[in-house]
Amino acid sequence: MSTDDTQAARGPARDALRDPAPTPVPAVGADSPFRREHATRDEAPQFVLPLVVRIEKAAPPTRTAALETAARAVLVLLTDERAHGDGEWAAAVRDWQDARIRKVVRRARGAEWRKAGTLPGVTVRGEAPPRTSAQTPTAQTPTAQTPPAQAPPAQAPPQASPEVSPEVLARDPAQTSPPASPLASPQASSEAEVRVFPPVPLDGWPKELAKLQVSGTDLDDPEPVPPAAPGVPVLWLNPDLDMSAGKAMAQAGHAAQLAWWELAPADRAAWRDSGFRLAVRTAPRERWAELSGSGLPVVRDAGFTEIAPGSCTVVSDHPALRARL
């Protein structure tokens, strides 16, 4: 479950977040790492952003919930105070953004998840979807998990600011997760949980993360996915591409990051204040050509894993960006 070519031992392959062909692209902010004139990015030391999704055997998250939570996790990391200025993650984030923007998604459960939770990072929660109707789910803000005595039910995580204090994050979030119900069936869906870590060198993965699996598990949506709520940013997946859950999670993270860097400061602040509400949906085939050619940010893949080089994977449809078209 990764942007890597899992058949190769070299590590993550390159996911191009900018169009490699000389075609017009939307203008981006001066502080964006996706500006076209970054011609020497391949010469810089390469870093990767690790994301770990929690997939318990008895109650894995749904595919859509995992994709949305991964996208929000990337935004939470980008806006964490430790990733800016003199923060403890700032140098690693700068090095990562000066090179190729790579993300790798791995999976963990049980003891693996608890060990991953001991490393510096942020755990972002989604919501366990309803099992009976096509009711539109409420997007949840990223939260840090609380000690057992205060742990909320898995179906109703508390609202919180996207900023999570270092003191709270110092706890082991996996140790404080509410236990799965003993009555849960193998088909039950749990709340999506993704932990994002500060970038690491390609060849410098912490041992707790390096041993986690990157392939062999996929996710699905047992119930029909409802339409996105009006006014919510939508990351539209290419309907003609068959991506694993991990690949799609990384691509959704790319799309969220592209949208973030193209937003004006006021629009960034509004999105952050909303808890980075967003939806990930597969685009209707009849709309894909219009979406991918609209001037909205488009993620194009380098083709090292799963799909052909240059494939458009996701379109970032943020209302503030659409208003500028």
What pLDDT, on a 0 to 100 scale, did the predictor assign at position 309?
74
Q: How far is CA 171 from CA 51, 86, 117, 176, 262, in A?
A: 18, 23, 8, 8, 34
The confidence score (pLDDT) of residue 214 equals: 80
CB distance 191 to 62 below 8 Å: no
Question: What is the predicted pLDDT for the residue at 287?
Answer: 97
Distance separating alpha carbons of residues 279 and 167, to the nearest angstrom:
30
- Which pLDDT score, from 0 to 100, does residue 301 have? 79
State residue 13's pLDDT score. 31
Q: Running along the chain, 325 residues long, what does each successive block of 10 average in pLDDT?
A: 32 34 38 46 78 94 97 98 97 89 93 96 80 39 41 40 38 36 50 97 92 83 95 97 93 97 97 97 97 96 72 96 96
pLDDT of residue 42: 60
pLDDT at position 144: 41
pLDDT at site 180: 37
The whole-model pTM stands at 0.73
Instruction: Please give the pLDDT value at position 307.
Output: 76
**pLDDT of amino acid 203:** 87
| pLDDT score, position 110 | 96
Integer CA distances (angstroms), 197 to 16, 169, 245, in order = 21, 12, 19
